Amino acid sequence: MLKYITKTIWILSVVSLLTDMASEMLYPIIPIYLKTIGFSILLIGILEGFAEATAGLSKGYFGKLSDTSAKRVPFVQIGYTFSAISKPMMAIFTFPLWIFFARTLDRFGKGIRTGARDAILSDEATPQTKGQVFGFHRSMDTLGAVIGPTLALLYLYYYPQDYKTLFFIALIPGLFAVLSTLFLKEKKLVKQKTQSSTPFFSFLKYWKGSPAEYKKVVIGLLIFTLFNSSDVFLLLKAKQAGFDDKIIIGVYIFYNLIYALFAFPIGIIADKVGLKTIFIIGLSLFATVYFGISVNTNLYFFWGLFFLYGIYASATEGISKAWISNITDKKDTATAIGTFAGLQSICSMLASSLTGLLWFQFSSTVALLTTAIVTLFVMFYFLRIPNPRIINTNTK
């Protein structure tokens, strides 16, 4: 079952697990911490929006830079280092500009590493094993999202409101992640002939010359992302239904646990039955969850819906990157994934704004039902796309 998981894949997966453990340890408490040091809800929103925009735009640029320089490992190492050192920085000083700098540095690190890391994963697989390779990485990554919040809950149980210490504790797995990247070895790639400098938005030129199938797949993915708002809205709906904070955090951890457990086996199935098929099944589960949560008030039903939501994530997150890496040229893998990830980040920001507007103007039910209905249209769009023609023919 693990015979296709190489040493490099293991290293990258462990690095992602440790980094996500550090990040998710802080995810539930960052808004609370920021409020205790004087940030308003509006300022928190501006901070998160700016940080995510930085990550989104930089993914495309550094993906392109990785391809043109024929280097992968330095981008991975620098990206994870920035994310690790940014954690304690948020606790050292509480000036708004410093907090903005620290939070943006974290997201900038993600932007630097994403394209190069996913290109390494793609190079370690064949077209027939992409699903399980990306699935295994997502499983390990998401396991960190289970361990992190659990440790944070345990710590806050014994030391209530001691948020600052958690930022320093989060540095520990972050540093181990950085040290683990030192075991990565650079593979020789053909350096592309290019200009002496790479303009920041040069990755957008890739869209113009990219394969037609890439454009079709990415357009569908971006339409879906435009209506796939933050998971916070699902948790707010659970809160609206009358559940206390402990149950809501428990449901979030449960969702990540299901995601972590199923991403790898679903990746193996996807390699056998087709990446597109599994992705469409994932979208059908997503629509079911949003339809259900929009009208549900039963606690047990919520657990069932979040179980399905974990399966949906397993069937789409890693699968979409595996799909993209198969329909683009090997020399452009980091650019292709980086460009998609960058555009996806921008659509994600717009999605949360759109859902928030619908929620405010009409109701939570209308907001979630709109997302479910649009997802059904996206499913039909993907059903009309022919099965993937493999371009990236990397062999192991």
Q: Which residues contact 353 (CB under 8 A, 6 or more apart)?
A: none
**pLDDT of 19:** 95
Domain presence at residue 2: no
Please write the tens of the pLDDT for every residue from 270-307.
989 989 999 999 999 999 999 998 887 777 888 999 99
Residue 219 — pLDDT band, cuts 50, 70, 90? very high
Q: Copy the structure tokens of residue 200.
A: 């920041």
Question: For residue 343, what are the contacts with CB-CB under 8 A and spacing of at least 6?
Answer: 56, 60, 218, 222
How far is it, in rounded angstroms, from Cα 389 to Cα 396? 19
Q: 20 falls in which pLDDT band (50, 70, 90)?
A: very high
Interval 208-223 mean pLDDT: 89
- Does residue 297 belong to any structural domain of this protein? yes
The count of domains in the chain is 1
Structure tokens at 211: 């394969």
Locate 113 and state its tokens. 């590493």
Residue 33 lies in a domain: yes
The residue to which tokens 């938005």 are assigned? 201
More confident: 300 or 374: 374
pLDDT per position as a tens digit, 306-362: 999 999 999 998 899 889 888 888 888 888 888 888 888 888 878 877 888 888 888
CATH of the domain at 113: 1.20.1250.20
Give the torsion through C-alpha atoms of 34, 37, 41, 44, to 10 deg: -40
Residue range 54-87, pLDDT digits in tens: 777 788 888 888 888 888 999 999 999 999 999 9
Residue 332 lies in a domain: yes
Q: Does the pLDDT of residue 395 top 70, yes or no?
A: no
14: domain range?
A: 7-184+205-384
Does position 241 have pLDDT exceeding 90, yes or no? Answer: no
Contact 331, 339 (CB under 8 A): no
Residues of the chain with pLDDT > 70, as a percent, come to: 92
pLDDT at 109: 92
Q: Label residue 139 by pLDDT band (50, 70, 90).
A: very high
196, part of any domain: no
* Largest Cα span, the chain: 60
Predicted TM-score (pTM) above 0.75: yes
Q: Is residue 389 part of a domain?
A: no
CA distance 367 to 356: 8
Three-class DSSP category at 71: coil
- Rg of the Cα trace of the chain? 20
- Encoded tokens for 374: 């649009």
Q: Is residue 342 part of a domain?
A: yes
